[in-house]
Structure 1
């Protein structure tokens, strides 16, 4: 499926999204997750640390994605450690989530998009802004810095690099460690989206995927 089909002038193509949903969620998951009794205490503690980093205090529920990646303990641990570092890092949560949402949309990642719409709203990203993320960096209403965040994601995915103009716009507000973290964050969530898409990770009951707002 051509990714450009999802990108229309209004930012949303219902038919293309339905096609993507059928492609990923309409077929069986490629690797079954571990059953709850197969999850070691170390895995439960790692997931709890991730939940705590985003402000959740209830006992963690090991979802389909975590339960699947846990079949490779080394990658599972490194991915959760990276995620925790990013969630407790130098970027403002709102800025981080704008970037993650743009990654999730451009990679047409139902699981990542749906989960991070919920997380982004927790950090003050409005429904209107979520709609504008779909349209991208050229949508009217963004500040210079917010537009540069989205454009940075767009350039990194399309060109695997970033223009001087976008870098300079981000550097007006961010210091060097924040700029490094932004690049690492985009790479992390690109990898996560690819894992979730290729494994056909099933959506949870409260995650409607690319239709979530």
Structure 2
């Protein structure tokens, strides 16, 4: 678990992505996995990091946010491809690469995977009912 924690620390606090973009990726992943705990923890952090309230509301409702910046839109499409198709089309990759650079793309995909892993664990744990 120490290595998993180290990966999470890197992805959250030392990634190539600005906190606003990291938190956006985390919310996209939490929404995809219907992971309420991750959502409840990260929605306020995302808001404080500069993610627009309308973006958070749209993600919570399972919709594509209507007013995304170029970097946000590129990461939204990248994350949706990772989660929904498990493969990223070249055009989606290229757009993300142009928006956040190679390290940013790798870190975004790492965030998708890391928070998907956490969501799977949390969604498997008994809920007390």
TM-score by length of 2: 0.87
Richer in helix (by share): 2
Taking the aligned partners of 2:40 and 2:78, their CA distance within structure 1 comes to 21
2:74/2:92 contact within 8 Å kept: yes
1:136/1:151 contact within 8 Å kept: no
Structure 1 ranges of 4+ moved more than 6 A:
none
- Tell me the residue number matched to 1:91: 17
**How has the CA–CA distance of structure 1 residues 136 and 168 changed in structure 2, closer, same or farther, with 3 Å as cutoff?**
farther
Deviation at 1:200, TM superposition (A): 3.8
- Tell me the residue number matched to 2:41: 115
Deviation at 1:122, TM superposition (A): 2.3
2:70/2:99 contact within 8 Å kept: no
Structure 2 matches for 1:63-82, cutoff 5 A?
Answer: 75=1, 77-82=2-7
Structure exhibiting the larger radius of gyration computed from Cα positions: 1
Structure 2 matches for 1:1-213, cutoff 5 A?
Answer: 75=1, 77-87=2-12, 88-134=14-60, 135-137=62-64, 139-200=65-126
**How has the CA–CA distance of structure 1 residues 200 and 97 changed in structure 2, closer, same or farther, with 3 Å as cutoff?**
farther
Deviation at 1:85, TM superposition (A): 0.4
Taking the aligned partners of 1:136 and 1:172, their CA distance within structure 2 comes to 24
Taking the aligned partners of 2:127 and 2:117, their CA distance within structure 1 comes to 14
Instruction: Name the Cα RMSD after superposition.
Output: 1.7
Taking the aligned partners of 1:125 and 1:161, their CA distance within structure 2 comes to 26
Show structure 1 runs of 5+ residues with no match.
1-74, 203-213
